[in-house]
Amino acid sequence: MKEVLAIRRKLLVANWKMHKNISEAQAFCRRFLPEIEECDRADIAICPPFTLLTAVKGALGSSKVKLGAQNLFWEEKGAYTGEVSPAMLLDAGCEMVIIGHSERRHIFGETDEMINRKVKAALRNKLIPILCVGETLEERKKGQAEEVVKRQLLEGLRELEYDGEIVIAYEPVWAIGTGVNASPDDAQKMSFFIRQILKGIFPEEKVLEMRILYGGSVKPENITGFTGQPDVDGALVGGASLDPDSFAEIVRLSCYA
């Protein structure tokens, strides 16, 4: 197990959602980058809104922090008002993209089928998809959490024709932005379950390399509980990633978990 863990570097992803303007984003990077300079044991990515991608890319400069997006559309180009293609994200310097975040599923009505098309489009364009899965509170109370996550994985990863890295983020909907995080034990149990499902989809060697993140009210005070679990390989962080000191602390603590 130790060898397997060694090949999965921790990954910390900031999801800024619909926050910050250009000068705030640049100020964030100026403060954040020196704080994480020493930490070379984890991968770090920032996913700002589309309007900030170019500015953040510039502010990140030659640092090791990667740029990601929060969404994409599956078509390459055309009459799709308001949408952004994978090629446009690549052009802006993105290396990864969040797909199927619960806010996309629940506020914007994204279905598993749409999410599957987005995952395929990301992989086709050599972007790393961060596929988000997770149950609502009602589903958890009814004992359906595993069933829901399994369906989201099987549908979201259906008939993939393309190879490449895929990251899964387990984000229980009831823990996102609520201040109520899942327990590290629950996060580990679900991440282990997710890995078992993935083994039915991909070759075992690939699954052992795949990173599974936990997301939902992660902050410096609770991060090590998650990253200390054998199947939790990092975190997708919303609110606490908006503050450079707090996100830097999450990164630093993860490096040594």
- Residues in touch with ligand PEP (CB under 6 A): 15, 17, 171, 176-177, 215-218, 236-240
Catalytic residue chosen out of the listed positions 75, 101, 103, 110: 101
137-152: string of b/e by CB count within 10 Å (b at 16+)? eebbeeeebbebbbeb
**In the bound complex, what is the minimum distance in angstroms from residue 142's beta carbon to ligand PEP?**
22
Alpha-carbon span 222 to 240, nearest angstrom: 11
Beta carbon nearer to ligand PEP, 50 or 202: 50
- Whether 190 and 146 have beta carbons less than 8 Å apart is answered as yes
Number of Cβ atoms within 10 Å of the Cβ of 2: 6
CB of 132 to ligand PEP, least distance (A): 7
Least distance (Å) between residue 84 CB and ligand PEP: 19
Q: Is 101 a catalytic residue?
A: yes
- Min CB(138)–ligand PEP separation in Å: 18
**Cβ neighbours of residue 250 under 8 Å, at least 6 residues apart?**
12, 218, 219, 220, 223, 235, 237, 240, 241
Between 157 and 218, name the residue whose CB sits nearer to ligand PEP.
218
171 is catalytic: yes
Q: Which residue has the tokens 């980058």?
A: 33
Say how far apart CA 123 and CA 80 lie, in whole Å.
Answer: 20
Q: Which of the following is catalytic: 103, 135, 171, 249? A: 171
- DSSP letter (8 states) at residue 125: T
Q: Is 170 or 193 the residue whose CB approaches ligand PEP more closely?
A: 170
List the catalytic residues: 101, 171
